Amino acid sequence: MAKLFVLYEHAAGFGLFSVNEFEEVSMLLPQVEASVTDLSRFNAIVKLVSFSPFKTAVSALENANAVSEGILPQDLAVFLDTALPVKKKKVTLGVADSKIGAAIVEALGIQCSHTGAVPEILRGIRMHFASMVKGFTPKSAGVAQLGLGHSYSRAKVKFNVHRSDNMIIQSIALLDLLDKDINTFSMRIREWYSYHFPELVKIVPDNHMYAKVAQYIKDRKSLTQESVAELEEILMDTEKAQAIIDASKMSMGMDISVVDLMNIQMFAGRVVRLSDYRKQLAEYLHSKMGNVAPNLQSLIGDQVGARLISKAGSLTNLAKYPASTVQILGAEKALFRALKTRTNTPKYGLLYHSTYIGRAGVKNKGRISRFLANKCAIASRIDCFTEAPSNVFGDALKQQVEDRLKFYESGEPPRKNTEVMEEAMALNDELQGQL
């Protein structure tokens, strides 16, 4: 029968506990849950075998970072090797996280478990840890936890500071919000100013241009033939400028007061400034995507790439996703509805907004979506894990998607993936050599 030991990671160090009568304990899980709160009953089941304190705060932080990432730190490996019995095949080690359990199995060959009675036992250890370790008090435990908590949080905030994908997430969210707001405000100014000059809507359909022209015109009766040059400068079109002058002379709009015109002008100015800021924000997003995810940017553009990163939560999360997840990212509701009603699952999510899906034929939309998702997954992984970002691979992947579109349309066979990637790697090495 395998003997159960439980590993507990505390801010002060690693603790190893033995569990008596494990088979009986796992069968009587409700009784274990009840005994967790009572120290005397809990001590009858769980005993401290060994405790290895961290020597310094730096060592504590390094071990905490490693354990949180599912990596077996050297200190923990040595501790388990010395504290556990020699015959490790007859030992089961209870752990809190399956990731660190998998790392221990791979490195030391010790069977690990994180289910059954283990979570309840760990809960009891966490509750009574200060009482179970000699020379340890709740106050010293609190100090250790507070110190490590601050250091760990600070390290997480500083982690990967150069890959500012958080800025991309905030930028694309603000960009989407601005698009909605500018559209709403533009519709409001169209309705408002149309009381005075209704013909202008048909001549200038563009929202941004309409706001600019309305801000310039003010009272339509003030327009003369001399205003054509300034209107042409705004619209970049002589015919439209002349059409506005002609329409103003025969307009059926009502006359409005100076105060109303002033309010319309101020509101139009705000809309124009918002539109200008939206352009600046788009340029900022373009530069950020070029720094953080140049290959993804080259492949599917700034906004679609940024939306994928935003939906995934970070570039690292996106890089961890399989291509099948990337393909339907953004269509979760449709996916679960399809699974629930047993109908066809969606072929694409956010990737639908890329130009490739629209250019493909109806029969090939699903195929090109799957192929594009595959290339996006590759591009995001290159961007996430490369030390010197460049858009060489993104351009190569983009050309592969273009070739695949041609293949669906004309049957022209595309180049093999190995050839394209070898060529891209050679070009990337050459560029890195020049830098």
Flag whether pLDDT at 365 surpasses 70: yes
Model confidence at 324, pLDDT cuts 50, 70, 90, reads very high
Residue 380 lies in a domain: yes
Q: What is the pLDDT of residues 101-149, one digit of tens each?
A: 898 888 888 888 888 788 888 888 888 888 888 878 888 888 888 888 8
379 falls within a domain: yes
Integer Cα distance of 224 and 241 in angstroms? 11
Whether residue 191 sits in one domain with residue 138: no
**If residue 73 lies in a helix (H) or strand (E), which one and from where to where?**
none
Q: Give Rg (Cα) of the chain.
A: 32
pLDDT at 124: 87
Confidence tier at 22 by pLDDT (50, 70, 90): low
How confident is residue 402, by pLDDT bands cut at 50, 70 and 90? very high
278/304 same-domain check: no
Query: Where residue 62 sits, what CATH number does that domain have?
Result: 3.30.420.220
- pLDDT band per the 50, 70, 90 thresholds, residue 28: low
Task: Tell me the residue type at 10.
Answer: H
| Residue 134 DSSP code | T
Distance, CA of 326 to CA of 316 (rounded, Å): 13
Same domain, 143 and 171: no
Distance CA 21, CA 9 (A): 23
The predicted model gives 360-384 an average pLDDT of: 91
Residue 167 has pLDDT above 70, yes or no: yes
- Domain end residue (candidates: 283, 310, 338): 283
246: CATH: 1.10.287.4070
Instruction: Please indicate whether residue 277 or residue 223 has the higher confidence score (pLDDT).
Output: 277
pLDDT for res 397: 93
Instruction: Looking at the structure, tell me whether residues 129 and 220 fall in a common domain.
Output: no
Average pLDDT over residues 146-168: 74
Residues 243 and 345 in one domain: no
Among 132, 157, 182, the domain-final residue is 157
The size of the chain, in residues, is 435
Mean pLDDT estimate for the chain: 87
**Domain identity same for 147 and 243:** no
Classified as helix, coil or strand, 15 is strand
Number of domains in the chain: 3
Q: Is 150 within the bounds of a domain?
A: yes
Structure tokens of 203?
Answer: 């001549």
Q: Are residues 144 and 10 in the same domain?
A: yes
Structure tokens at 301: 């553009």
* Alpha helix segments (H runs only) across 84-137: 98-108, 118-132
Reported confidence tier of residue 295, pLDDT bands at 50, 70, 90: very high
pLDDT of residue 322: 93
| CA 404/CA 373 separation, integer angstroms | 13
CA–CA distances in Å: residue 287 to residues 167, 171, 306, 312: 11, 11, 12, 20
The reply to whether 69 and 202 lie within a common domain is no
Q: Answer whether residue 21 shows pLDDT above 80.
A: no
Residue 434: per-residue pLDDT: 77
Predicted confidence (pLDDT) at residue 429 exceeds the cutoff of 60 = yes
111-113 sheet: strands from edge to edge: 46-53, 13-19, 3-9, 91-94, 111-113
297 lies in the same domain as 389: yes
Q: pLDDT-based confidence at 269, cuts 50/70/90?
A: very high
What are the tens digits of pLDDT across the range 75-84?
888 888 888 8
pLDDT for position 161: 46
Whole-model pTM above 0.85? no
Q: Quick one: 345 and 258 in the same domain?
A: no
The helix/strand/coil state of 360 is coil
The pLDDT score that the predictor gives to residue 1 is 56
Domain that holds residue 8: 3-157
Cβ atoms 319, 379 nearer than 8 A: no
**Does 23 reside within a domain?**
yes
For residue 150, pLDDT over 80 is answered with yes
Mean pLDDT of 62-72: 87
pLDDT over 90 for what percent of the chain? 32
CATH of the domain at 351: 1.10.246.90
Q: Are residues 363 and 387 in the same domain?
A: yes
What value does the mean pLDDT take over residues 252-265?
Answer: 89
The confidence band for 162, taking pLDDT boundaries of 50, 70 and 90, is very low
The mean pLDDT value for 362-383 works out to: 92
Confidence at residue 370, expressed as pLDDT on a 0 to 100 scale: 93
Q: What are the residues facing 18 on neighbouring strands?
A: 5, 47
In a domain, 34, yes or no: yes
In the DSSP assignment, the letter for residue 63 is H
Residues 175 and 166: their CA atoms lie apart, in Å, by 14
Domain assignment present for residue 288? The answer is: no
- With a CB cutoff of 8 Å and minimum separation 6, the contacts of 9 are 63, 64, 67, 96
315 in Cβ contact with 411 (< 8 Å)? no
The reply to whether 199 falls in a domain is yes
Candidates 62, 88, 84; CA nearest to 75 is 62
Q: Are residues 308 and 253 in the same domain?
A: no
Question: Of 157, 176, 195, which closes a domain?
Answer: 157
269 located within any domain? yes
Q: What is the pLDDT of residue 158?
A: 61
